[in-house]
Structure 1
Amino acid sequence: MNFLTNNILFKRFAIIISLIIVSLILWNTYIFFQKFKQEERIKMEILATAQKEIATNTDLNANVDLPLKVIENNNNIPMILVNAKGEIEYFQNLDSKKAENPKYLENQLAKMKTENEPIEVSYKGKNRQYIYYRDSDLLNKLSYYPIALILILFLFLSVIYMFYNSNKAAETNKLWTGMAKETAHQIGTPLSSLLGWIAILKMEKIDETYVNEIEKDVHRLNTIANRFSKIGSIPELKKENIVDITKQAFDYLESRSSKQISFSFNTINNEIYTNLNTELFGWVIENLIKNAIDAMLGKGELILKIENTSKKVKITISDTGKGMPKKLFKQIFKPGFTTKKRGWGLGLSLSKRIVEDYHKGKIFVQKSEIGKGTTFEILLEKV
């Protein structure tokens, strides 16, 4: 509980700190932007003063080098000088080729009027001229700076979020693995006791049919316990006859399923060898058969076929159940996904992990049609 509380508090603290950082970045950028904008305004006022100095100077021998230098040094702020009638007399830092088109200059002037107040150039209220200007390209680029910083911060927080999520998933997997191993350990004690009771029943000369069935179920429980004990560890693969292993799982479920389901096991070769973990692979076959039985609602036809190719062994399990749309072919293998009212949606995801991660094979939906049924296919390398 303390760990969860500390984790929640840490996340809230991280969010608050992130918001403070973003706020400070935006505020400082705004202050910097306004200061830079004010400096550009001062530059244009100085330029206006230089322009006025040149325009009002009647002395031909006067030195106007300084005003001219001020005007020439404006090489980054686009500006347009207009007379009192609004006619354009001069412009700077605009595209000279585009400026050949009067429409371009008119559009630029309209934009400048919306961005900044004009600066008046006149002498004793006469010969009025106005300097219009817009923000420099550097200032415009700076306006995107906060967005770039926010995006960087967002990416940084996303990485942190994914990191914590992956840690949480790892902790959850570790918890489930521990629970599975503990379940296997707990089942082992009553199993040992049941084996003893079976021995007593045999000595008491109870009907062997009943004793054999009980023995099968005890063996089944032992298999389940072994499966759970292997979760989280790399299983050992051995060269096995896949036909025998598949038939055992098939026969067990056939004997305990509805008699209204027709079971069919088809194979040409009785011996096909591949590297298997018999307990885990049997789990896959059982999951697929159980899904088929559930899809048929206890009535229909189930066909399991084993085919031998040059390099691979192919197992198909077909049913005459409700089927599924093509868009679900991949989703059904995701953990937690289920179309049933009951169930955790782990059977097919476990089957995929066992076949593809442990046995380096393939499992997929070969075909499915709504109202007609589904066929799953497993491909494994032969040895």
Structure 2
Amino acid sequence: MEFNPKKKVSNFILLATAFAIVSLILWNTNSFFKKFKEEERLKMEIWATAQSELLQYSEDMDMGNLTIKVLQNNTSTPMILVNKDGSIKTNNMPEDKVKDSLYLHHNIKIFESENTPISIDQQGEHLATLYYGNSEVLNKLKYYPIALLLIILLFGAVIFFFFKTNKASEQNKLWAGMAKETAHQIGTPLSSLLGWNELLKSEKINPEITKEIDKDISRLETITERFSKIGSLPELKEVDIVEETKEAYEYLKLRSSKLIHFSFNTKVEKLPVLLNHSLYNWTIENLVKNGIDAMKGKGSIAIDIVPAGKYVNILVADTGGGIAKSNFHNIFNPGVTSKKRGWGLGLSLVKRIVEEYHQGKIKVLSSGKEGTIMQISLKVKQ
């Protein structure tokens, strides 16, 4: 479903414009690089011509001022001149290395790969070969497009994460607003139900009926409290994790199908943890119901409490079809669900309750054809 096609089109136009600008900058930079390289080639050809004239002068001849100026003017381009007798002359290269023949031959190969050598000839006679590399300016210019591209990518990443964070913040506000509105909407009929139940109690009817209604009203009050706390920091109290988990377990066991076999195991009698009673029960309920859905209403649910040093692990296991390993992390994202009907918010809320509100951890411990084990880790109160 497309909620905002106009926004999608505008985003595409913005992306296309940005791509066009980047392409234009890179194209211009490449053109400038080629032009600069051509001018440097022309400069080296002029230098080679001047060198050719220099090689013709004898000791008793006066060298022209222009030739001297051309030869002395090049102070940026590294050069290696190999004369026909094998002697080597260098220019604009480290003085401490020019006497190293291995260094010179290595650089000759590098220069040859960067620029075509210039043959210095005079009247058909080969006088020397000029090998030259890229000047410092040209080398810096060569990496300019890469640096520019990295800057643009970094800038784009910053903008992307800014909008992503902003969007996530807006979504959180939306879910929090929806949750609080749901709590508010439930509150009105709940107050009415309380009144009707009190009226029923005054009548001579089976007290077991009103007792069960009281339980469901209490349950609705708990649900209302849960929704009202979404988007705000809940109050944490020191409680016994074993007792809290067992309470949630007993409630779900009594209200689940007889086709579901429940088991509760703990390796410790009592363990203090900072918890919000309502939200923790909601977490266990979500995990158990997901397990029941995975088993299609028939199978086994096991809850185990295992101490682990400074932490306590609460394991919720089912005998459902399992989760693909590639989805171990994705199932906690909003909107991810395997059900035909559902918003995919259950495990997302569970993750938020455990990790943001209780500073704990939740993960898929293991999953396969034999079932799935979800693990909640909470810090033990010292």
**Same fold, judged at TM 0.5 (above):** yes
Report the Cα offset of residue 44 of structure 1: 2.1
1:136 — aligned with what? 134
Percent identity of the aligned residues? 47
2:162 — aligned with what? 163
SS at match of 2:300: strand
1:222 — aligned with what? 221
- 1:50 equivalent to 2:50? Answer yes
Q: 1:335 and 1:98, CA in 2 relative to 1: closer, same or farther beyond 3 A? A: farther
Following superposition of structure 1 onto structure 2, how do residues 67-146 of structure 1 map, counting pairs within 5 Å? 67=67, 70-71=70-71, 73-75=73-75, 76-78=77-79, 80=81, 92-93=90-91, 96=98, 99=101, 107=109, 111=113, 115-116=115-116, 118=118, 121-122=121-122, 125-127=123-125, 129=127, 132-138=130-136, 139-146=138-145
In 1, the alpha carbon distance for the partners of 2:111 and 2:279 equals: 77
More displaced, 128-137 or 32-41? 128-137
1:261 — aligned with what? 260
2:301 — aligned with what? 302
Q: 1:264 and 1:234, CA in 2 relative to 1: closer, same or farther beyond 3 A? A: same
In 2, the alpha carbon distance for the partners of 1:47 and 1:117 equals: 13
More displaced, 280-289 or 249-258? 249-258
TM-score (norm 2): 0.79
Following superposition of structure 1 onto structure 2, how do residues 196-215 of structure 1 map, counting pairs within 5 Å? 196-215=195-214
1:191 — aligned with what? 190
Query: Aligned Cα RMSD in Å?
Result: 3.9
SS at match of 2:303: strand
Task: Could you tell me which runs of 5 or more consecutive residues in structure 2 were left unpaired when the two chains were aligned.
Answer: none
What is the letter of the counterpart of residue 125 of structure 2? N
Deviations 1:192-231 (A, max 9, x none): 1222222233333333333333332232222112111110
More displaced, 269-278 or 91-100? 91-100
Deviations 1:4-59 (A, max 9, x none): 78966774665465345434533542453244324323422332332233233357
Following superposition of structure 1 onto structure 2, how do residues 361-376 of structure 1 map, counting pairs within 5 Å? 361-371=360-370, 373-374=372-373, 376=375
Report the Cα offset of residue 271 of structure 1: 5.8
Give the total of aligned pairs: 374
SS at match of 1:321: coil
In 2, the alpha carbon distance for the partners of 1:33 and 1:293 equals: 66
Q: 1:127 and 1:321, CA in 2 relative to 1: closer, same or farther beyond 3 A? A: closer
Report the Cα offset of residue 170 of structure 1: 1.0
SS at match of 2:169: helix
Report the Cα offset of residue 377 of structure 1: 4.4
Report the Cα offset of residue 106 of structure 1: 7.8
More displaced, 365-374 or 218-227? 365-374
What is the letter of the counterpart of residue 247 of structure 1? K
Deviations 1:337-382 (A, max 9, x none): 4444543433233223222322233434444453255353443424
Task: Could you tell me which runs of 5 or more consecutive residues in structure 1 were left unpaired when the two chains were aligned.
Answer: none
